[in-house]
Amino acid sequence: MLTMRRLGAALGVEAMSLYRYVPGREDLLDGVVDTVVDELFADPDVLFEPKHGWQDYLQRLAHGVRRIALTHPALFPLVATRPPSAPWVRPPLRSLKWVESLLRALHTNGFSSVQAVVAYRAYTSFLLGHLLLEVAQRGVAINAIDDPDGSPTANPMDLVEFPLISELQPLLSLDETLTEFEESLESLLDRLQTMLETGAHHLPPVTADPQVDVDLPQTGI
């Protein structure tokens, strides 16, 4: 757990001297989260306004948040779990500036107020669930919400009693996270488009395409 004493020791100063800069540990953690989220403003591929339409805006923002998660995997669970400034501020978009930007991008592109809120909730849920899973797959303990020092490496698994898992391990170990992220994002954007076109106030259900044929990579097993 991150403490003012540990931080002071790491910086080579007395813990009490840190209180000149931050009131306490909770304020320090909030500052860390704000600093990480503010990296979106410096990302050249992320647009603060929907210059090329709402779908392009959401795609750019999603990939920007993903880059933050992968650049700071040990900190991303902190971004995801710190108490928000208001109950309706949903991680990982914890900045009121970005929440305002997202809602305005939708509102100015034809979404009603209700539709914009539905889209905001669905979009942030998608980002949070997918990116927490992705950083967890990279060895980050997502329950270590206030320890940005990292997490221990998992012990190797004994698969002797699990022959099918052992056989399929090469497939299970493939890193398809970027493809899965992009496909899930496209699916969400398509559902938002349908909601916009039909005037509905809820997302349409996810439907499977019977024409889709999934090709697994060849692994020799």
3-state class (DSSP) for residue 138: coil
Chain segment 161-209, per-residue pLDDT in tens: 767 767 767 776 777 888 889 999 999 999 999 999 999 999 988 775 5
Instruction: Say yes or no to pLDDT of 220 above 60.
Output: no
What is the CB neighbour count within 10 angstroms for residue 148?
A: 16
Is the whole model's pTM more than 0.85, yes or no?
Answer: no
Q: 113 is written with which tokens?
A: 């107020």
Chain segment 21-32, per-residue pLDDT in tens: 666 667 777 787
CA separation for the pair 158, 10 (Å, rounded): 37
Chain segment 103-154, per-residue pLDDT in tens: 999 989 999 998 999 999 999 999 999 999 999 988 887 764 554 444 444 4
CA separation for the pair 24, 20 (Å, rounded): 10
**Bigger pLDDT: 192 vs 19:** 192
Cα-to-chain-centroid distance, residue 36: 12
Q: 47 is written with which tokens?
A: 């647009």
Residue 153: the pLDDT is: 44
For residues 86-98, average pLDDT: 82
What is the CB neighbour count within 10 angstroms for residue 76?
A: 29
3-state class (DSSP) for residue 221: coil
Conformation bin of residue 220: beta by default, left when phi > 0, alpha when psi is -120 to 50: left
Domain ranges of the chain: 25-151+176-198
Cα-to-chain-centroid distance, residue 219: 30
Chain segment 23-71, per-residue pLDDT in tens: 666 777 778 788 889 999 999 999 999 999 999 999 999 999 999 999 9
CATH, domain 25-151+176-198, list 1.20.90.10, 2.40.50.140, 3.10.450.50, 1.10.357.10: 1.10.357.10
